[in-house]
Amino acid sequence: MHSAPGAVTVAETGLTPGAVVAVARHGARVDLSDGALSAMAATRSVVDALAASPRPVYGVSTGFGALATRHISAELRTRLQHSLIRSHAAGMGPRVETEVVRALMLLRLKTLASGRTGVRPLVAEGIAALLNARVTPVVHEYGSLGCSGDLAPLSHCALVLTGEGEAEGPDGVVRPAAELLAAHGLTPVELREKEGLALVNGTDGMLGMLLLAVADLAELFTAADITAAMTLEALLGTDKVLDPALHAIRPHPGQAASADNMRRLLAGSRMTGHHQDRQPRVQDAYSVRCAPQVAGAGRDTLAHAALVAERELAAAIDNPVVLDDGRIESNGNFHGAPVGYVLDFLAIAVADLASIAERRTDRLLDPSRSHGLPAFLADDPGVDSGLMIAQYTQAALVSECKRLAAPASVDSIPSSAMQEDHVSMGWSAARKLRTAIRNLTRVLAVELVTAARATEMRTQAGSLTPAPATAVVVAALRGAGVAGPDADRFLSPELAAAEEFVRSGALTRAAAAVTGPLA
């Protein structure tokens, strides 16, 4: 099978991180490879043979979880699979974002396509059809413990596949699933042996959110280097601490990358280093001087998280699974610990990056530490408050990030009559990380607004000129709807514009237009 241009092919060998983001976030079309269809057909014959035998096989001819001791007769097995989906679609709370639901559907499709689950190709084709029709099941915030898979979220998706439950159409309106399927010419799937179980038994929700987070943070770590460089410059700090020789003697790759970004951003600045001539400073404060070390540690954490995500993308997670020799075996690969740990690890890195950015912002606003800048960068301090409360907002966001850094994966609560007595809470780790990433975007936006205003105040007051790269960033920010220094005005819309400037990648594109690609 050949994919249309821009489409993603789901093969038996797995997916790339970029493919997941393309489908989840950008609506790319999904096709199944011929190899995937063949692999599913081959292992389905194994399941059919086991279903016809008298030997009990978990998920094929038995109940589930603590009810796995009951043998289910052949005439009840379709009912068994549908009962599983209906009962497990027990989520509560707000709706989960469309991109997250599309990611978990695609990742479940990826595992089905591996041929390890024993489902018919028809089931996988049904999920692909939902994705391509942009029919998105309604999934709720609460319901997954991150073990035995993201059960409730995946069950809500499986329910729509069978023509039940609710989903959002491409017009954004939520309707009964049966109505939406009919409108798009899709036929509900009647599940057979093992298929209901195969649709819900995976770490797809938490993995999908990890992959989206990795993509977002790759952008934000670069943005943080830009805002840190701008703050260093606005404080007349020294760029000598960015010397590659200093970072070579502590060989963390992330640190070296951040230092190199900052050094290139500040190339040609006539503002850096002036404190050594005009002020009695010997060296800059930690929040400025150690920016590459903190951001770099976050970069290395992100690299580890990306490695874990890539391993999960290469996995086929289900219970039981069909092995190469035809055996179908129970296992514990659905446990979300590997994903949960790195989700929590990233939340720690996000909180610390937000924290150091807030400290730099506060330094720019404090006349006792900003080396000649007016209080709060106000036009007329005392009459005007400048960016005083923008820093309050930033501090509130940082404080929440610190709370969100408390790990979810250390908390396990037993379920299913103590059969499932240790769970990962990986879904919860992913949910709080998404909030932390949104907060970090806003924190960096406030630092950007502050550093840009401080830079312009420096250049208006004297002969100092910023680096070409940072000057271009300031100009682009002004073009994005964030005005320069002046009397107090309604600030919230400008902060929202700055947030979008960071989130969309416009910040990094503006800087890279001068520096070339940044790490």
pLDDT digits (tens, 9 = 90+) for 176-212: 999 999 999 999 999 999 999 999 988 999 999 999 9
The residue-averaged pLDDT of 307-316 equals: 95
Instruction: Tell me what pLDDT residue 414 has.
Output: 85
Q: Is the peptide bond before 320 cis (omega within 30 degrees of 0)?
A: yes
Instruction: Tell me what pLDDT residue 73 has.
Output: 78
What pLDDT digit, counting tens, does each position of 40-73 carry? 999 999 888 888 877 777 767 776 666 677 777 7
**3.40.50.150, 3.40.630.30, 3.30.450.80, 1.10.275.10: CATH of 8-202:** 1.10.275.10
Cβ-contact 349, 299 below 8 angstroms: no
Identical fold for domains 8-202 and 209-515, yes or no, is no
Instruction: Tell me what pLDDT residue 57 has.
Output: 74
Name the active-site residue from 58, 286, 341, 392.
58
Cβ-contact 18, 28 below 8 angstroms: no
Which residues on adjacent β-strands are paired with residue 136?
168
Instruction: Tell me what pLDDT residue 187 has.
Output: 97
Give every CB contact of residue 424 below 8 A, 6+ residues apart in sequence.
145, 146, 147, 206, 335, 336, 337, 339, 340, 409, 412
Domain boundaries, the chain: 8-202, 209-515
Instruction: Tell me what pLDDT residue 280 has.
Output: 62
Of 56 and 495, the one with more pLDDT: 495
Give every CB contact of residue 505 below 8 A, 6+ residues apart in sequence.
219
Closest CA relative to residue 197, chosen from 312, 319, 89: 319
Under CATH, which architecture does the 209-515 domain have? Up-down Bundle (1.20)
Percent of the chain with pLDDT over 70: 97
The residue-averaged pLDDT of 380-389 equals: 98
pLDDT at residue 221 greater than cutoff 90: yes
Q: Across all residues in the chain, what is the average pLDDT?
A: 94
Instruction: Tell me what pLDDT residue 51 has.
Output: 82
Instruction: Write the CA distances from 515 to 215, 262, 322, 370, 511, integer angstroms.
Output: 22, 10, 51, 27, 6
The residue-averaged pLDDT of 81-85 equals: 92
Which residues on adjacent β-strands are paired with residue 175?
167
Residue 264, both tokens: 């290139």
The span from the CA of 432 to the CA of 24, in Å, is: 19
| Cα angle: 388, vertex 389, 394; to 5 degrees | 105
Residue 142 among the catalytic residues: no
What pLDDT digit, counting tens, does each position of 1-42 carry? 445 558 999 999 889 999 999 999 999 999 999 999 999 999
CA dihedral sign, ordered 434, 30, 313, 108: positive
Instruction: Write the CA distances from 287 to 117, 231, 362, 394, integer angstroms.
Output: 51, 10, 10, 16
The span from the CA of 507 to the CA of 414, in Å, is: 46
The upper half-sphere exposure of residue 383, i.e. CA atoms within 13 Å in the direction of its Cβ, equals 6
The residue-averaged pLDDT of 362-369 equals: 97
Burial environment of residue 461 by CB neighbours within 10 A (0 to 12, 13 to 18, 19 or more)? exposed
For residue 142, give the H/E element and its range.
Answer: strand 140-142
For residue 141, give the H/E element and its range.
Answer: strand 140-142
Residues in the chain: 519
The residue-averaged pLDDT of 245-260 equals: 98
Instruction: Tell me what pLDDT residue 278 has.
Output: 63
The span from the CA of 78 to the CA of 76, in Å, is: 6
